[in-house]
């Protein structure tokens, strides 16, 4: 009964996020507060775990509840001008260098052109809201740990120059050469936002919001996999007894991860790309999303893990 007021306070706080408001400068405090999202958390009981517990007097089988929920592992920024990450406190991490100077769209200056080659930088930084999120999520019950470390740079496109600005070697990958592979949206529904490959900073997309989303998806695709030919730090956790971490991020598949918009509007919900909700164009071409990833776990109640049963 004592937990009820706590839950009500958390719910009230999360409701403050419902009305999305314009936000052109993103700060850490805003990102931390954004973790109070029941929709993104999506907490649920999914099964039962079995543990063998032994003492000098014998062994018994104990059980614990298996839960599944999403965790905000990282903030993924997609922005036009090099060094101008919309998350102000981490801009210093992506400043221009000798191999990565300016940014912007390719254009001839003709007023009627519509075939723009857009370029965006991308940074994947560990989400700073772990402590607040942990308190919020624990109100629902036992919680899992994520893979992200606060403020850890997992990908900075200014340090990944060869791959990000020249598409080497990904421009010759089958996913980049064969139409219809690894695409966000579909041609058949006339809602194609772009292709995941080649996973670099350039793409043809007249809509700037969709271009930013595709770039964010590319960055998330890289960091959630191991052994990619990029300069990055994998954003992955290792499975262990009673712990099932998120795997590879796959476009349009919420079971692998989903996105919470942080700027230019602050959203209280999560979605996958493509989505039909309102898409506000950023004035400076700067976007940021929190990447929420699914984890499952159960409390250890013995020395030996015997397995688990999922609820269908």
Greatest mean pLDDT range, 115-124, 139-148, 185-194: 139-148
Per-residue pLDDT tens digits for 88-111: 999 999 999 988 877 666 554 454
pLDDT-based confidence at residue 214 (cuts at 50, 70, 90): very high
Q: What is the pLDDT of residue 188?
A: 80
Q: What is the pLDDT of residue 82?
A: 95
Whether residue 298 is predicted with pLDDT greater than 60 in this model: the reply is yes
Task: Give the DSSP letter string of 150-165.
Answer: TT-EEEEGGG-HHHHH
Query: Measured in whole angstroms, how far is the alpha carbon of residue 241 from the centre of its chain?
Result: 25
Whether residue 14 is predicted with pLDDT greater than 50 in this model: the reply is no
**Residue 30 corresponds to which tokens in the numbers above?**
């805003």
Q: What is the pLDDT of residue 100?
A: 83
Per-residue pLDDT tens digits for 123-135: 999 999 999 999 9
Q: What is the pLDDT of residue 105?
A: 67
Per-residue pLDDT, averaged over 126-149, amounts to 96
Name 289's Cβ contacts closer than 8 Å, sequence gap at least 6.
75, 76, 78, 213, 216, 259, 260, 261, 262
Listed residue (21, 5, 216) closest to 125, CA to CA:
216
Q: What is the pLDDT of residue 1?
A: 35
Omega cis (within 30) before 169: yes
Per-residue pLDDT tens digits for 237-296: 999 999 999 999 999 999 999 999 999 999 999 999 999 888 999 999 999 999 999 999
Per-residue pLDDT tens digits for 24-58: 579 999 999 999 999 999 999 999 999 999 999 99
Per-residue pLDDT, averaged over 210-236, amounts to 98
Q: What is the pLDDT of residue 113?
A: 52
Cβ atoms of 129 and 72 closer than 8 Å: yes
Per-residue pLDDT, averaged over 160-188, amounts to 93
Cβ atoms of 288 and 76 closer than 8 Å: yes
Element (H, E) at 50: strand 44-55
Q: What is the pLDDT of residue 18?
A: 37
Quick count: other Cβ atoms within 10 Å of Cβ 247? 16
Q: Determine phi and psi for 154, rounding to 5 degrees.
A: -90, -30
Buried b / exposed e along 55-87 (16+ C-beta atoms within 10 A)? eeeeeeeebbebbbbbbbbbbbbbbbbbbbbbb
Per-residue pLDDT tens digits for 187-211: 888 889 999 999 999 999 999 999 9
Q: What is the pLDDT of residue 7?
A: 44
Per-residue pLDDT tens digits for 66-94: 999 999 999 999 999 999 999 999 999 99
């Amino acid at each position: 009964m004592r937990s009820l007021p706590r839950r009500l306070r958390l719910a009230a706080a999360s409701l403050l996020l419902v009305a999305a408001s314009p936000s052109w400068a993103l700060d850490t405090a805003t990102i931390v507060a954004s973790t109070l999202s029941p929709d993104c958390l999506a907490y649920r009981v999914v099964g039962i775990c079995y543990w063998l517990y032994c003492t000098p007097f014998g062994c018994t089988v104990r059980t614990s509840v298996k839960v599944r929920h999403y965790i905000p592992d990282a903030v993924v920024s997609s922005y036009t001008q090099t060094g101008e990450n919309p998350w102000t406190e981490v801009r210093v991490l992506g400043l221009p260098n000798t191999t990565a100077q300016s940014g912007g769209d390719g254009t001839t200056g003709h007023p009627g052109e519509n075939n723009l080659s857009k370029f965006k930088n991308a940074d994947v930084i560990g989400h700073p809201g772990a402590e607040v999120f942990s308190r919020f999520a624990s109100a629902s019950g036992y919680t899992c740990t994520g893979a992200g470390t606060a403020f850890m740079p997992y990908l900075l496109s200014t340090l990944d120059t060869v791959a990000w600005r020249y598409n080497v070697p990904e421009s010759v990958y089958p996913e980049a050469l064969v139409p219809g592979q690894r695409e966000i949206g579909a041609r058949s529904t006339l809602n194609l936002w772009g292709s995941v490959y080649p996973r670099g900073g350039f793409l043809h997309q007249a809509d700037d919001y969709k271009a930013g989303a595709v770039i964010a998806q590319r960055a998330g695709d890289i960091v959630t996999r191991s052994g990619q030919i990029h300069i990055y730090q994998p954003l992955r956790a290792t499975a262990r007894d009673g712990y099932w971490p998120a795997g590879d991020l796959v476009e349009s598949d919420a079971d692998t991860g989903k996105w919470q918009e942080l700027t230019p509007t602050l959203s209280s919900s999560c979605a996958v790309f493509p989505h039909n909700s309102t898409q506000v164009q950023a004035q400076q071409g700067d976007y940021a999303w929190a990447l929420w990833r699914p984890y499952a776990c159960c409390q250890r109640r013995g020395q030996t893990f015997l397995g688990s049963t999922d609820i269908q």
